[in-house]
A and B are shown apart, each in its own frame.
Chain A
Amino acid sequence: MTEIHQELHERRILGTELLWAFGVGVLIAAILSMIVFTALSIGVNPPSNVERLDPKALHLSGEFAEDNLGTSVGSDGRVVVRVIATQFAFLPRCIPVPVGRPVTLRFVAPDVLHGLLISGTNVNTMVVPGYVAQVHTEFTRTGDLLMPCHEYCGLGHSEMWATVQVLPENQFQPDSNGRVSCAQR
């Protein structure tokens, strides 16, 4: 092969390589900007709360004892929802929340890995035994939303779902203990 030939050959390879590098670069940039955009515009982020709790004794813990589960409004007006994700149900199975007010959701699991999302909202988290999964959010529309378990947790996984009832302010009525229950329909 002559010098000239070799030179031409090199150039062609270089051209193809640059073309591919450009294509891949565009793809990566597009995906990354999507992640950055959702993170900045609709607040999608990995839950950052690190809080440990013994998963074997949740029923003896004050906070996640059965009587304390569900939606409650503190004296400062803060809405806190406490839910247990267990094989194969959420407890409680219907969760009332107010529309247009900040809500703190706190989930724990006593047995295996679970996960959940609330359809049409930015709530989407894993529930890892031993940790409290906490999500802050605000619901923007009234109506019933589906909350399925989205992490395979055993043979009854596909029957594991709950309902989130987003209520208008006049129907979101805490009782004297600050507890709110789902509206009966």
Chain B
Amino acid sequence: MSDSHETPSIDRRLLDQPWRFWSTVAVAGTLLGGIILGALIIPVVQGRSAGLDAYTAICRALGILPGSPAQPQPSDRVQRTPVSQVVWTSELLHILARADPARGRTKALESCAACHGETGIAVAPDVPHLAGQSGPAIYKQLSDYRTGSRAHDLMAGIARALDETALADIAAYYAGRPMRNPNPATLAPAPAEIITLVELGDPRRGIPPCASCHRAGSGGPIETPVLAEQRDEYFIQQINLYASGQRRNDLYARMRTIAAQLTPSEIAGLAAYYRAGFR
């Protein structure tokens, strides 16, 4: 019994030798086979059908040469004005983060309060509430009024009179105001199909759920405005402007494509849902 434990170690190593040898051969062989297939045979055969010579195909497979065409493609159409000039660079996000709501309040009282209200609760039905609106959303819209991407005679003139920091300060001030409390008078139970549109969208028409972007913290685009408790007159007006293409400052036609597919009764239902003030 004891003897098997005392087998001289030299014997064991001898016993192992062919195993080590052949497993090394197997691993190295697989590696080599993979390199030959992935870096030589497949690129050369595939490159032939794309009109590439063997050398270029191999270099591209190895990542030494970029793919074709590496040069940016020229646009083959006369360029029109972009839908918006706003670019969410890190400098811009810094300006927004450093904005001063106190300074913003002074400016807002001077030039905005007459229409949007001191705390951001507007009186006239076609003027949107700004209280509790997201800062980036306010900034983007002001910026678009200023550059003419969003057309409105009054707001364009007002926005042009302000500089970048002022826009950011005012945005920070209104964003910091709490929204109104849900108004019990407006709280009617919403029809099931409206709740479905908000929560689930309509895959058949390719309409994503409104809440996938408009609910706070949903992870949608940074400039998405808060809709909760927004005026229904303003809401309906904006959806119709998107649908007809008169308002086209939404990047990548995000809202235009959605708005164009909503029926009038859906638009009215959504406006009522959001005015009631939940999410």
Contact = CB atoms under 8 A, between A and B. Distances in A.
A87 B218 CA distance: 11
Given A106-B73, A155-B212, A56 B87 contact: yes
Contact of A49 (B68, B84, B201): B68
A171 interface: no
- Tell me whether chain B's interface is mostly helix, strand or loop, or mixed: loop
Given A68-B79, A91-B253, A154-B220, 13 more contacts: A36-B42, A39-B42, A45-B42, A48-B60, A48-B61, A49-B67, A50-B63, A59-B83, A62-B79, A65-B75, A68-B75, A68-B77, A159-B206
A83 to B, nearest CB: 11
Given A51-B70, A65-B79, A86-B254, A60 B212 contact: no
Interface in A109-167: 110-111, 134, 136, 154-156, 158-161
Contact of A51 (B72, B82, B87): B72
Contacts of A65: 75, 79-80, 82
30 contacts: A40-B45, A43-B49, A47-B67, A49-B68, A50-B70, A56-B87, A56-B89, A59-B252, A60-B82, A65-B82, A66-B82, A67-B77, A67-B79, A68-B77, A86-B254, A87-B254, A89-B253, A91-B257, A93-B206, A110-B252, A111-B221, A154-B212, A154-B219, A156-B212, A159-B201, A159-B203, A159-B206, A161-B206, A177-B76, A178-B77
Contacts of B207: 159
B252 A91 contact: yes
Interface of B: 1, 4, 37, 41-42, 45-46, 49-50, 60-61, 63, 66-70, 72-77, 79-80, 82-85, 87-89, 201-203, 206-209, 211-213, 218-221, 251-254, 257
Contacts, number: 137
Interface of A: 1, 6, 36, 39-40, 43, 45, 47-51, 53, 56-60, 62-63, 65-68, 72, 74, 80, 84, 86-89, 91, 93, 106, 110-111, 134, 136, 154-156, 158-161, 177-179
A49 B66 contact: yes
Contacts of B211: 155
Contact of A72 (B76, B79, B82, B85): B76
A63 B252 contact: no
A52 to B, nearest CB: 9
Contact of B208 (A84, A88, A106): A88
B82 A156 contact: no
Contacts of B203: 158-159, 161
Contacts of A89: 206, 208, 252-254, 257
A66 B252 contact: yes
Contact of A40 (B42, B76, B219): B42
B50 A136 contact: yes
B217 to A, nearest CB: 11
Nearest to A43: B46
Nearest to B67: A49
Contacts of B73: 63, 80, 106
B209 A159 contact: yes
Contacts of A179: 77
A159 B209 CA distance: 8
